[in-house]
């Protein structure tokens, strides 16, 4: 049987602080099969982004971080890999799209120069002309109509939507097996966000890439993901096929998340107190708080 592209078992994370150990992840487990798009959803601070950063190896060097558990990539235990081999995976077999595209690009280098650096991760010694051709083709794939102009531009000369497309093109340029997408499109308006996510969806399907899609936007998750994991206070509280989870959420927190999704009503202004009560009811029942305590 083929090993999953990504397998996480009993992953725990804590940070040593002056106030003592702060526990962030409490033994989460998930897996992503080849070509599968899996979403990790939850509110801010629930542990979504740090999970992706552990997979990429970005937190292991922090002296204050305490990490335990197993993270396997295509059957290989990442913690047992040599640091050099694990570093080589970044930008080649696994890549990441960060939340803010503009700040993720270096403002003092052109897009073309940064694209060449990405391509050199998988193809050391690639010529400038070949790198430019590959970069131009990759930008065309994400519906950028003037790739040559964009390659000669700096990030601050491009719109947020254009920078997001550049980041998607860079992330997929080396045909990675795993794409970690940390709230892509959050900084964009809804129409540009929809366009860029559709492009990303088409490209990962074309390349048969596995995706860990991190988001708190349940509308986007419903359209994009095959399966969903719900994380709450560093714990996976529910998981399942997207349609099944949305149609019949079982955990109170999942029910509260879905209840918070804005809906278009038939007119009139909803009663704020009634809306709050419907949203908080599952958490009141599960956590034992009163509505007054939760609304303070």
Query: How many angstroms separate the Cα of 293 from the Cα of each of 43, 280, 281?
Result: 19, 11, 13
Beta bridge partners of 21: 16
Burial of 47 (0-12, 13-18, 19+ CB in 10 A): buried
User: What's the pLDDT score for residue 296?
Assistant: 37
Residue 92, Cβ neighbours under 10 Å: how many?
A: 17
Task: Give the span between the Cα atoms of 25 and 9, in whole angstroms.
Answer: 12
CA distance to 104, 117, 225, 251, per residue, from 99 (Å): 8, 21, 18, 28
CA distances from 38 to 72, 91, 111, 126, 240 (A): 16, 20, 29, 33, 10
Q: Which residue ranges in the chain fall short of pLDDT 50? A: 269-276, 291-296
Are the CB atoms for 45 and 106 separated by under 8 Å? Answer: no
State the sign of the Cα–Cα–Cα–Cα dihedral 211, 104, 69, 252: negative
Distance, CA of 2 to CA of 33 (rounded, Å): 9
Name the residue with tokens 């193809």: 123
Task: Report yes or no: 225 and 213 within 8 Å, Cβ to Cβ.
Answer: yes
Beta bridge mates, 285: none
Distance CA 221, CA 38 (A): 9
Answer for the pair 90, 52: CB distance below 8 angstroms, yes or no.
no
pLDDT digits (tens, 9 = 90+) for 86-107: 889 988 999 998 877 778 899 9
**What's this model's pTM, rounded to 2 decimal places?**
0.85
- Phi, psi (5° rounding) for residue 48? -70, -55
Residues of the chain with CATH 3.40.50.300: 6-261
Q: Pick from 141, 153, 204: which is nearest to 175 by CA?
A: 204
Contacts of 271 (CB under 8 A, 6+ apart): none
3-state SS, residue 62: coil
- Of 215, 219, 265, 222, the closest CA to residue 241 belongs to 222
27 touches 173 (CB < 8 A): no
Q: Which CATH class is domain 6-261?
A: alpha beta
């Amino acid at each position: 049987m083929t090993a999953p592209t990504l397998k996480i078992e009993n992953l725990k994370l804590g940070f040593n602080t002056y106030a003592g150990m702060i526990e962030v992840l409490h033994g989460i487990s998930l897996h992503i099969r080849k070509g599968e798009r899996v979403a990790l959803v939850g509110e801010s601070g629930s542990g979504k982004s740090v999970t992706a950063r552990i997979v990429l190896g970005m937190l292991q060097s922090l002296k204050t971080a305490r990490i335990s558990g197993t993270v396997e990539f295509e059957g290989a235990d990442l913690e047992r890999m040599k640091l050099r081999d694990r570093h080589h995976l970044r930008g080649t077999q696994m890549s990441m799209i960060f939340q803010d595209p503009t700040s993720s690009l270096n403002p003092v280098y052109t897009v073309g120069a940064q694209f060449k650096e990405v391509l050199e991760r998988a193809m050391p010694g690639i010529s400038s002309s070949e790198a430019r051709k590959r970069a131009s083709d990759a930008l065309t794939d994400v519906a950028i109509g003037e790739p040559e102009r964009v390659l000669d531009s700096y990030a601050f000369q491009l719109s947020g939507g254009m920078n997001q497309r550049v980041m998607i093109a860079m992330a997929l340029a080396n045909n990675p097996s795993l794409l970690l997408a940390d709230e892509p499109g959050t900084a964009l308006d809804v129409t540009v966000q929809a366009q860029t996510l559709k492009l990303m969806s088409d490209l990962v399907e074309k390349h048969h890439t596995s995706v860990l899609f991190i988001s708190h936007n349940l509308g986007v998750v419903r359209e994009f993901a095959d399966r969903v994991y719900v994380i709450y206070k560093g714990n996976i509280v529910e998981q399942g096929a997207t349609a099944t989870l949305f149609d019949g959420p079982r955990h109170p927190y999942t029910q509260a998340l879905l209840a918070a999704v804005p809906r278009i009503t038939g007119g009139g202004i909803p009663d704020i107190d009634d809306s709050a009560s419907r949203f908080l009811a599952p958490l009141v029942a599960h956590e034992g708080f009163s509505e007054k305590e939760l609304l303070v």
